[in-house]
Amino acid sequence: MIGLPMTDTVPTDSPPTAQVTLPDGRVEIAPGAPAPTGPYANEDLLPVPVARRTWTTYNFSALWVGMAHNTASWTLASGLIAVGMDWKQAVFTIALANLIVLVPMLLTGHAGPKYGIPFPVFARASFGVRGANLPAVVRALVACGWFGIQTWIGGEAIYFLAGKLFGDSWANASHIGGYAWTMWLSFAIFWVLQVAIIYRGMETIRRFENWAAPFVLVGAGVMLWWMSSKAGGFGPLLDQPSKLGWGGHFWKLFWPSLMGMIGFWSTLSLNIPDFTRYGKSQKAQTWGQALGLPTTMTLFAFLSVMVTSGSQAVYGEAIWDPVKLAAKTDNVVGIVFALVTVLIATLSVNIAANLVSPAFDFSNIAPRRISFRAGAMTTCVLGVLIFPWKLYSDPQGYIFTWLGLVGGLLGTVAGILIADYWILRRTRLDLADLYRTGGRYWYDGGWNWRAVAAFVTGGVLAVGGADFHPLIDGRPIPALSSLADYGWAVGLGTSLVLYTGLMLLRGRPEATA
């Protein structure tokens, strides 16, 4: 079936490009038809041909196992232990959060296998061909922050590993900016290693995720065995009491914690089309994500809280950073294995989650000038400039400030994307117009002010009343403080309803087929 674009805004003289819908529902540029060209298209942003959409259920599951089993995920769960929860409360919070975030993940991921387009191009349908740069840059800057945090974690692993091998001369080197110069060197080494992998492209990333996933899972299991043997069995790991109980103190901490856990993957709930665009079918991405995300995050949360509870029993304090915990062993073979596991885990998530997306996002700003690789390099540089060592140094600021703010803003974007794609357009898009001046997604000079209004309103309500400590003292809008603990949900719900209403006042968008 062929659908031709029906322009509902500014007419254009450029010839329409046909698209063909296959029996399984996937859509591509019609064979023999010219690919979209112009200032808003380049090779990295064009739809992936159906023949190259080859990722299976296993590929998506492995992607999620590789991304979920990482040091930042570990610190989510162990950080909840550090602020007073017991293992049951921490695992419950994380399991529920990942079941919730799976829903927008699957809804936005649908556009990937159907149309073969990345997130910034998908966002053009709602924000406008030019306006899509707004959510793309917000998402990219968040990824830069995450890239920096994960790179610092990877640098820590190299630093501690080298310290065990080279001795005190490495571990106790002279300090620069509060850290040993050898720590800064380790940070730089890990930074370069990631750049080398991303430059080899998406197929290399897919192969890396396939073997990294099971390796990291085994490594986490070994760490649990080590800690249980140190504690004298699993009993002490399970017996560490909650400092909060199940009363008002717990629930006061639960809601911002839940939003923080949702915020952790709210980034991927936007840009998951960057990966699902390579999907062999909708079934592959749906089952792959459903099997990969909530199950592995819950299992990994259980492993991490067990180990952190064990550290509390063995060392008298909850050590929430797995790199510092692994460094406490005197067994050279054990620490090498543990830290190599941390390195692979960190590489896995940082490349997949924090380099692929902003590479496409920055490319979307100026497609003719910025390639996928140039976008990745931009991310790598900005990831250093955000001072990730400061963000990561405090679990309170890490979970509630950083993740809470991220979740609130990105939930707002997710609400707009879901409303546009599912409620208004019923999953029907025109591929050619996503790259064209004057087409149905051009709106007013390339911007859809309705999406911008929904984004700003949802964002203010979601994070305006949040406590920005330790970034700044106080709350920007104290009157909104009662909404701060529910930032992601407030942002998503507000933007979804407001955007839908504003667009219906304009008139329901036309279908393409």
- The answer to whether position 154 is within a domain reads yes
**Cα–Cα dist 259/253, whole Å:** 10
- The answer to whether position 46 is within a domain reads no
Cβ(411)–Cβ(462) below 8 Å: yes
Strand partners, 447: 444
Q: What is the DSSP letter of 181?
A: H
**Cα–Cα dist 22/7, whole Å:** 23
Give the rounded distance of the alpha carbon of 467 from its chain centre. 22
**Cα–Cα dist 352/157, whole Å:** 19
Range of the domain at 93: 54-393
Task: Find the CATH number of the domain harbouring 62.
Answer: 1.10.4160.10
Cβ(20)–Cβ(28) below 8 Å: yes
**Cα–Cα dist 468/452, whole Å:** 24
- The answer to whether position 501 is within a domain reads no
Give the rounded distance of the alpha carbon of 19 from its chain centre. 31
Q: Which two tokens stand for residue 215?
A: 């390796």
- The answer to whether position 107 is within a domain reads yes
SS (H, E, C) 98-117: HHHHHHHHHHHHCHHHHHCC
Cα angle value 343/286/376 (rounded, 5°): 40
Q: Is 14 helix (H, G, I), strand (E, B) or coil?
A: coil
pLDDT 10s per residue in the chain (513 long)? 334 333 344 434 344 568 899 999 999 998 888 888 889 998 889 999 999 999 999 889 888 877 777 666 777 777 777 777 777 888 888 889 989 989 999 999 999 999 999 999 999 999 999 999 999 988 888 888 888 888 888 888 788 878 877 878 888 889 888 889 999 999 999 898 888 877 765 566 566 666 666 777 777 777 777 777 776 766 655 555 556 667 667 788 888 788 777 877 777 888 899 999 999 999 999 999 999 888 888 888 787 777 777 777 777 776 767 777 776 776 777 777 777 777 777 777 777 778 877 888 888 888 888 887 888 888 888 888 877 887 666 655 554 566 567 767 888 999 999 999 999 999 999 999 999 999 999 999 999 999 999 999 999 998 887 776 655 666 778 788 888 777 888 899 999 999 999 999 987 666 554
pTM of the model: 0.80
CA-CA distances (angstroms) from residue 121 to 17, 50, 142, 270? 16, 17, 18, 12
Domain count, the chain: 1
- Cis-peptide into 256, omega within 30 deg: no
Rg (alpha carbons) of the chain, rounded to whole number: 23
Q: Which of 97, 101, 94 is nearest to 77 (CA)?
A: 94
Cβ(446)–Cβ(39) below 8 Å: no
pLDDT of the residue at 262: 81
- The answer to whether position 425 is within a domain reads no
Q: Is 423 exposed, middle or buried (0-12, 13-18, 19+ CB in 10 A)?
A: middle
**Cα–Cα dist 104/272, whole Å:** 10
**Cα–Cα dist 459/44, whole Å:** 30
Q: Is 96 exposed, middle or buried (0-12, 13-18, 19+ CB in 10 A)?
A: middle
Q: Is 245 helix (H, G, I), strand (E, B) or coil?
A: coil
- The answer to whether position 49 is within a domain reads no
**Cα–Cα dist 43/27, whole Å:** 18
SS (H, E, C) 381-392: HHHHHCCHHHHH
- The answer to whether position 509 is within a domain reads no
Q: Which of 471, 468, 465, 470 is nearest to 485 (CA)?
A: 465
Question: Left, alpha or beta for 430 (phi > 0: left; psi -120 to 50: alpha)?
Answer: beta
- The answer to whether position 449 is within a domain reads no
